[in-house]
Amino acid sequence: MNLVKTEEPAVSEAAVSRHRGILETAAQLICSDGYERTSMNAIAEACQLTKAGLYHHIRSKEHLLSEIMHYGMDIFEEQVLSQVSGITDPVERLETTLDKHVQLVTGGRNKEVTVILHEHDTLTGDARAQINARKKNYVRFLEASFAEAIAQGRIRQVEPKVAAFTFLGMVNWIYKWHRADGEFSPQRIAQEMRRILFGGLVDEVSPPSVESGERKQG
């Protein structure tokens, strides 16, 4: 499939970093204007390249989108998934995942790269199947962690799959309403969502005079 790529064996660090810079710049444009409305001309200009120069780095517009998405998944897996998959306790694992995922979508210079993952149904064929497989991997991780927490009696008996998509929905929606200069810091949002999802909203928690040891038996 790699028909047009030029250099293959020893890609220099500078080239990798240059390539990433192009993906990040393109991601910012696509995030603000949408994929369809972002022209290759506009991307070239923002990267201070001629259009021919851009095509030296990027095969096609759809391939660019696919590359941004894989880069987004790389960042996501590096900053979220690989940080938490070793945590033994399933509730702690899920809470930490929530924290780290919220941090990723609210702040940092890679925000746009990960937001592009929401570009719905734009990729086609193999490129789409590959990205969907990587996304599904995260859904399965969440689902398995919820199932484990239920099996250990740590959380209520809910449908792990609905819980996983509830988690994803609340976190993935954040970019629609959160502003960097808004009233809530990323830390605060993560903390509140943790309390909402894991603490539960209904205040039935603290019965007046039961020893904490007894409460586990319920």
Residues lying near a copy of itself in the complex (CB under 8 A) are found at 32, 34-37, 91, 120-122, 149, 153-156, 158-159, 161-163, 165-166, 168-174, 176-177, 183-184, 188-189, 192-193, 195-210, 214-215, 217-218
Judged by beta carbon, residue 15 or residue 196, the one nearer a copy of itself is: 196
Nearest approach in angstroms of CB 71 to a copy of itself is 21
Judged by beta carbon, residue 84 or residue 197, the one nearer a copy of itself is: 197
Nearest approach in angstroms of CB 60 to a copy of itself is 16
Judged by beta carbon, residue 55 or residue 198, the one nearer a copy of itself is: 198
Judged by beta carbon, residue 20 or residue 62, the one nearer a copy of itself is: 62
Judged by beta carbon, residue 57 or residue 106, the one nearer a copy of itself is: 106
Nearest approach in angstroms of CB 16 to a copy of itself is 31
Report the phi/psi class of residue 34: left, alpha or beta, with left for phi > 0 and alpha for psi in -120 to 50: left
- Contact (Cβ atoms closer than 8 angstroms) between residue 115 and residue 167: no
Q: What is the CA radius of gyration of the chain?
A: 21
Nearest approach in angstroms of CB 174 to a copy of itself is 7
- Contact (Cβ atoms closer than 8 angstroms) between residue 79 and residue 104: yes
Distance CA 87, CA 105 (A): 22
Nearest approach in angstroms of CB 129 to a copy of itself is 17
Which contacts of 20-24 are long-range, i.e. CB under 8 A and separated by 24 or more positions?
Answer: 20/71, 21/47, 22/47, 22/49, 22/54, 22/57, 22/58, 23/64, 23/67, 23/68, 23/71, 23/113, 24/109, 24/110, 24/112, 24/113
Give the Cβ contact number of residue 78 at 10 Å: 12
